[in-house]
Amino acid sequence: MKSDNVKKGMQQAPSRSLFHALGFTKEEMEKPLVGIVSSYNEIVPGHMNIDKIVNAVKQGVSEAGGVPVVFPAIAVCDGIAMGHIGMKYSLVSRDLICDSTEAMAIAHQFDALVCVPNCDKNVPGLLMAAARLNIPTVFVSGGPMLAGHVGGRKRSLSSMFEAVGSYAAGTMTEEDVDEYVNKVCPTCGSCSGMYTANSMNCLTEAIGMGLRGNGTIPAVYSDRLILAKHAGMAVMDMLEKNIRPRDIMTKEAFVNALTVDMALGCSTNTMLHLPAIANEAGIELDMEMANAISDKTPNLCHLAPAGPAYIEELNEAGGIYAVMNELSKKGLLNLSCMTVTGKTVGENIKNVHNLNPEIIRPVDDPYMPNGGIAVLKGNLAPDTGIVKRSAVAPEMLKHSGPARVFDCEEDAIAAIEGGKIKAGDVVVIRYEGPKGGPGMREMLNPTSAIMGMGLGSTVALITDGRFSGASRGAAIGHVSPEAAVGGPIALVHEGDIIDIDINNNALNLRVSDEELAARRKEWKPRTPSVTTGYLARYAAMVTSGNKGAILKIPEND
């Protein structure tokens, strides 16, 4: 056992004395040491119940013959961090989570891990750590929130942000907004739509690192506790069989995850996280493959914000395995991939059926013949731009309009809520990329303001930042190269015509190559907005959004 390095032999007698201080018995010292990575805290609604999940995991590990040991991981609530400097710390927390888990696991020589994440960067950060450490690991999340109810309709956090825009437009009163405040987030759990947290928890199943129901069983259901116990048991089975994360997270498994991503219509943030996780597994995942996968993968689900259904309904319809079973009917998945169950994907989904064809469309009757996410390219985005196609109004799939240019999110929000953005405009928010932000802030406030102002079917938004999974509309993010490194988005002038053609994966600035070259000669890099602390170190090391915003040690000049 790996943990023998800290438990066995005369040289480790000092370590044994410290285990004695922890209250370990001699019998426990003979058993595998299983780290339980707990993301519990009292500031993130998706994490406030994780202490109960962790206790259930501990029971499962103990029953299966292991010794569970809990240690923490941080988590940022994107909803609370949204719209101010705190959002600069959201994406960057992913690497802190990964690095700190690596430190704890190796320093204490755990034999295996059970990771208990839930929210946006917590899930990919721990998946990155699992791939890096490559010891038997199972994931079980805290689970999704139940949908809220306002005026007889199901609602969620995206409705809350859009209500603020409606208030600015004068179509909602302060009392109306207060009703949303008190009703849209009724329980603990990750916010109830197919936002980033739930997207990543669902894709954890698709990639094979979580048990069935990991992404969909609501946080408040007792089935979530049962799942957690089974996760504890499963990791002990993996340890016995020596099944490791890199046996599961293969290139084929990531293609499966991208395929399920397209069928579900997940958050565009998956286009950042999947390549970052793959990188830790030693796999290069080129996001340009997403369009090829999208072209042959039907979109089977329209979950909030793309449609009126919520994660609880996806769970009742059969969950991710039911979606995967539908996809398998067209031969769209690699069924031989190994999973944490000790069985293959094909074995896992064999007898799981679609119980509600309105929530999970049959593969022969999809919402759209192609996937929910599109990668755009053109002279405005030579590398990539990402859009959640399934959440775009049909009339905005092709759009041309004048650029309204802003060098930060706050200025754009002021213009939108001040009535300065008109139908037909293309809002450009730049210098918000991984380096330029730094931290690649989410733009849920401006997209929600556009929707709340009634401009969702006439105004597009383009940024080198990114979007919350709760965003909807013609919102194109991850534009690469970003403005901070001189990407073409830095060269856009007020009033330039921008052509968007999502069906043909194109994003272009109607400006000649000669004019762009002249503008480039005049462009000067901006002084970094942050020069100290973690954000400064992050900005120095982070790569482009189209590479997953992974960190690399800067090369010497």
Q: Which positions are catalytic?
A: 468
Paired with 377 in beta bridges are: 506
Q: How far is CA 354 from CA 265, 322, 346, 366, 373, in A?
A: 17, 5, 16, 13, 23
> What is the C-alpha separation between 170 and 288, in angstroms, rounded?
42
Looking from the CA of 111 toward its CB, the CA atoms found within 13 Å total 27
> What is the C-alpha separation between 74 and 76, in angstroms, rounded?
7
Q: Are 137 and 175 in contact (CB under 8 A)?
A: no
Give 108's contacts (C-beta < 8 A, 6+ positions apart). Answer: 6, 33, 35, 69, 71
> What is the C-alpha separation between 506 and 499, in angstroms, rounded?
8
Q: How far is CA 160 from CA 152, 195, 379, 393, 444, in A?
A: 15, 14, 36, 20, 11
> What is the C-alpha separation between 331 and 341, in angstroms, rounded?
22
Paired with 387 in beta bridges are: 374, 476
Residue 294 phi/psi, 5-degree rounding, is: -60, -40
In the block, tokens 């990771």 appear at 115
- Would you give the DSSP letter of residue 309? B
Torsional sign, CA 534, 539, 545, 549: negative
In the block, tokens 């390549």 appear at 275
Here the tokens at position 124 are 């990919």
Which DSSP string do the residues of 111-148 spell out, in sequence order? SEEEEE--STTHHHHHHHHHHHH-S-EEE----BPPPE
How are beta strands 148-150 and 153-155 bridged, if at all?
antiparallel
In the block, tokens 């802003």 appear at 406
In the block, tokens 């330029």 appear at 436
